[in-house]
Structure formats: structure tokens, C-alpha cells
Amino acid sequence: MTRVKVCGVTSIEDALLACELGAAAIGFVFWPGSPRFIDPDRAASIVAKLPPLVSTVGVFVDQPLEEVQRTAEVAKLSAVQLHGDEPLAYARRVLQPVIKSVPVADDFVPESIDAYPPEVTVLLDAHDPARHGGTGRTIDWSAAAAAALRRPVFLSGGLNPGNVAEAIARVNPYCVDLSSGVESSPGVKDPAKLRALFDAIRAATAGVEVNQVKRND
């Protein structure tokens, strides 16, 4: 099954349900400008109760490196997601594995992601210089698919239970990253939407596997 990161989590109930359904990663937003902001101590209390194989990702937007590292240590993060205009030199100084958000705007060129070294994971998201994610807007999946041919990518931007299967089929991402598409309100996940999401992803993945078997035959 395609890996799933459920982002913008603010409660242990939402985190545990996402893990139970099959999430590979849980994301916490530490940017104060987000309606999904969570403080490091609260995030740490959630992380402490998660299954050991689930990754925990902290989302930051152009914040001081010292703040990022301090938060990562307090919350016991597996990885740091940089969702602003952080340069590559900044990313190289982060001690944890880095996920770098790359906005897919009208002028996006798939070859541009080659600038990031292999140890930096690229996340493709909608371009929004004000909200920095969680906008509910999809990106150009054709451009994303071209980027995904160059390296494994995380796909974000307006994904929900109704379109995630098509997104997976068209882009073939390493991981899909969802936030607003599985919420009842910012930071509050909707159990029914979460369940529908994983049902759709399992069905999409099964379809891909069946088609591969047919081609091999």
C-alpha cells in the first residue's frame, strides 16, 4: 500500500486512529501561524503513545534552526519538514532527516527537484506563501508525475478520500500527505474520512498490483 502521512494532528485520539488504520507517519505543525499549531510538549505526550514503527514529523516554516532543533528534541521527532523558503544550506544543518516542501506553481519545472541531494525527501504541495500548506488545493498531477519519475516524492495538496486513488494512479508517489482533506475542522480529524481514505488507498493499491500481474503474464 502507498505510504500515508496524516499531518496537522493535534490529539492522541486522531493520532492513534490514523496509526490503527495504517498511517506510516504522523505530522505535527509547529509553525505558530497555522490553525493546526501544536506546542512541543503536547506533541511529545502524543508521540510517547504511538506505535514504535510510526514516524513522527515536525513541520516548520522559516523558523530559527535553534528552535527547530529544540522542538525536535522535546517532541522526539523522526524527521523535520521544512515548509517555507529555507535554503539547501539550512536543510543540511538540520540533524534529523529532512523533508523539503517544494511548491508546484505554474512555473514549476520537474527538473528543479534535482537540486536537492538524495538524503532530502521532496514533498510536492500547492503554492501558498501565506498559509504554507493545508489549503485544500490540488496541484498539477502531470507535473508531479514527471517529478516522481526522477525520485521518490511525497504528494500533498488537496488530497481527500474522493481523489486520492486517482492521485496515486497518476503520480505514483512514495507517500501521500493529507491534512485538511480528512478533517472536520482545522486540526480535528474526521474518523469517517480517515477510514474512507485508507479504504480508497487500499483499493487503489490493489488495482495497481493486479494490473502489474496482468502485464507480467
Rounded Cα distance between 6 and 177, Å, is 6
Active site residue 7: yes
Taking the whole predicted model, whether its pTM rises above 0.75 is answered as yes
Range of the domain at 200: 3-216
Cα–Cα distance measured from residue 49 to residue 10, given in angstroms and rounded to the nearest whole number: 13
Choosing from 14, 125, 175, 177, which is the catalytic residue?
125
CB atoms within 10 A of CB 209: 11
- Alpha carbons 217 and 213: distance in angstroms, whole number: 6
Q: How many residues does the chain have?
A: 217
Separation CA 193–CA 176 (nearest Å): 15
What pLDDT is recorded for position 129?
58
Mean pLDDT by 10 residues, the chain (217 residues): 96 98 98 96 98 97 98 98 96 97 94 96 81 68 98 97 96 96 97 98 70 48
Catalytic residue among 7, 19, 175, 177: 7
Task: Give me the half-sphere count of Cα atoms (radius 13 Å) on the Cβ side of residue 196.
Answer: 14
Q: 106: Cβ–Cβ under 8 A, 6 or more apart, which residues?
A: none
- Owner of C-alpha cell 524527521: 79
Residue 52's CATH number: 3.20.20.70
Active site residue 19: no
Q: What is the structure's pLDDT at 210?
A: 39
pLDDT of the residue at 205: 77
- Amino acid (1-letter code) at residue 161: P
Domain count along the chain: 1
pLDDT at 127: 63
> Which triple of cell numbers denotes residue 110?
520537474
What's the rounded Cα separation, in Å, for the pair 46 and 110? 36
Chain segment 52-85, per-residue pLDDT in tens: 999 999 999 999 999 999 999 999 999 999 999 9
Contact in structure between 24 and 5 (CB atoms under 8 Å): yes
Closest to 45 (Cα-Cα) out of 64, 26, 68: 26
Buried/exposed code over 176-195 (b: 16+ C-beta within 10 A; e: otherwise): bbbbbbbbeeebebbeebbe
